[in-house]
A = this chain, B = another copy of it.
Amino acid sequence: MNIKLDDNTPIYLQIMNIFRQMMASGKLKPGDKVAPVRELAGDYGVNPNTMQKALSELEKEGLLYSDRTRGRFVTRDNKLLNNLRLKEAGLAASEYGRIMESLGFTKEEALDFFMKATNERGQDKQNA
């Protein structure tokens, strides 16, 4: 369950971000069917109208498209998806920088921490 955080970000934007992340990381793949609005609304504990807004905004961005009869699907536009992936990576990098700055570390120190962390996980052997 969740705790109450003082996050002023509108709920539909929070949801859009979650979907963007799932699409960028391949958890949602091109052409995948998206669950019905009402089901998703239940899953995330939000009003169906809010969920509807989030999904239609994602459609405006081209990341989703809907077929009135069959439902809603993830775009097959790989270029768009790759741009999304690059954007999400930039956000993650920025967020990492923001945290390290708040902890009082320099850019160089942040790099050191990252090198050390990835070496421990052997991440350099992994790629997409």
Which residues of A pack against B, CB within 8 Å? 1-7, 11, 14-15, 18, 24-26, 43-46, 60, 85, 88-90, 92-111, 113-114, 116-118, 120-121, 123-124, 126-128
Contact = CB atoms under 8 A, between A and B. Distances in A.
Q: How many copies does the complex hold?
A: 4
Contact of A128 (B14, B95, B103, B114): B103
- Between A60, A97, A100, the greatest number of chain B beta carbons within 10 A of the residue's beta carbon is seen for A97
Given A3-B44, A97-B117, A121-B97, A106 B128 contact: yes
Contacts of A111: 111, 114
Nearest to A45: B4
A109 B105 CA distance: 21
Q: Which of A4, A7, A109 has the most CB of B within 10 A?
A: A4
A95 B73 CA distance: 29
Given A11-B3, A25-B102, A45-B3, A107 B123 contact: yes
Given A60-B60, A85-B103, 14 more contacts: A2-B4, A2-B7, A3-B46, A25-B102, A26-B104, A89-B99, A89-B110, A92-B99, A93-B114, A93-B118, A97-B123, A104-B127, A107-B124, A110-B118
